[in-house]
Every structure is written in structure tokens, then in C-alpha cells.
A and B are shown apart, each in its own frame.
Chain A
Amino acid sequence: GAGVSQSPSNKVTEKGKDVELRCDPISGHTALYWYRQSLGQGLEFLIYFQGNSAPDKSGLPSDRFSAERTGGSVSTLTIQRTQQEDSAVYLCASSVGTSGNEQFFGPGTRLTVL
């Protein structure tokens, strides 16, 4: 069975441009999470989707960040008008549900804003 996949693996963009990052969770996993990891740092929670419930957006750093999850599966994280401080690795994780102990992580998307 496939794990969590993310695309692209690397993205270089110019300051001010919009970017979209994609996450395909493990099939059947109802919970999906986005985290951000800046260089040499731990992971910072961004947003969480669980089934049909309203997402928890409490970790989004600004209104330039948004995410959606279509059909309870694939998720897209969008960053508008990117800034240099947005440069980081963006990690997606999924779990069986809110009661699942383990979150399975994707390989991440390395975003570089020039």
C-alpha cells in the first residue's frame, strides 16, 4: 500500500507569487494534517482536517495561507503572495482517525522563496 505522497518535492518561487502544495493521504485515512518545518526546527502545526468536520485552522500563520480537502481525500495547501519567511519544508500527515495513535508523514515539499 502506498504511503502519504506529496507534490512537488521541491518548489522554488519568487517572492509575491502564489504556490500550491498537494498531499495525497493514505487511502482510508480520515484525518489529514499539515505541518511546517523551518530549517533546524521542529514541526509547527498548520491545519487539520477530520472527515466532514470543519477544519481546525488555528495554526495558519496568516491569511495568505489556506487549505482545502476535496472529497475527504486529497488536500491542497495554498500560499498566496509568498514571502521569504515562508521558505520551509511543508509536511503532510494522515491518520486512521482522531483515535489513531500514529500519524504517517509524507516526504514533504521543500519550498524556497527567492
Chain B
Amino acid sequence: AQKITQTQPGMFVQEKEAVTLDCTYDTSDPSYGLFWYKQPSSGEMIFLIYQGSYDQQNATEGRYSLNFQKARKSANLVISASQLGDSAMYFCAMREIVRAGANSKLTFGKGITLSVRP
């Protein structure tokens, strides 16, 4: 079974500073993918970044980077130069890498609320 853990309470960061949102996972699958989604107050789920379990490099997408530590089973999201628009809920999610006929549903953590202060 897969499990995603996000235990941080609400996070606060000063505008223009960096912030790390924690995510740990548990799986017995050798192949899996890790995702971060942003959900602003409007409710839509916005894909931010993806990391495959066999990727050699940590994923980066603009101001987002994923600090992937496979041995520790952690996939923390780092947001650099925070902006006011970054205030939202952030969800970590995982899916097994699909084999023929296998389900590729996402398993989500409970999310972390990030508030960016001006």
C-alpha cells in the first residue's frame, strides 16, 4: 500500500524568501512517481512538479524544485523567492509507475497550507 505523509501545520514565509514543504512517503513498489500540486482558494488543482523514482537528478521547474532523498523516502518541495500568489494548499502525491494494465491513480497527502507574508 502507498502512503503519503505531510505533517507540517500551516507554514508562513516572508515574501521573496525560500520555503521547504515536507513530504515523506511509503511504498513497496520499486518504481513510482512523486508529484506536487498547488490548490489555491479557488479550488483548482495545479500541477507543479514531478519526480520519477529512477530519475538521477532532482526535478526543477522555475522557482520550484524537489529535494528527492530516496533512501529517506522524502520528496520535499522547495519554493524559492516566494510570491504572494504562492499562498495556497500544497499537496504531495504518489503513483506507481504504470505497468501494462495497472492503475495509475494518485495517492495524496493531507496537504500543507502556505501563507506568504508581504
Contacts and interface: CB of A to CB of B under 8 A. Distances in A.
Interface of A: 31, 33, 35, 41-45, 48, 50, 53, 56, 58-59, 89, 91, 93, 95, 98-105, 107-108, 110
A102 B104 CA distance: 11
Given A41-B110, A42-B91, A43-B91, A105 B105 contact: no
Specify which of A31, A98, A104, A110 lies most central, judged by the most chain B CB atoms within 10 Å of its CB: A98
29 contacts: A33-B106, A35-B106, A42-B108, A42-B110, A42-B111, A43-B45, A43-B106, A43-B108, A48-B103, A48-B104, A50-B104, A56-B103, A56-B105, A91-B45, A93-B45, A95-B104, A98-B102, A100-B104, A101-B33, A101-B35, A101-B52, A102-B47, A103-B47, A103-B106, A105-B44, A105-B45, A107-B43, A108-B43, A110-B43
Contact of B101 (A41, A53, A91, A105): A53
Which secondary structure dominates chain B's binding surface? loop
B91 A89 contact: no
Interface in B69-90: none
A52 B102 CA distance: 13
B68 interface: no
B105 A45 contact: yes
Nearest to B51: A101
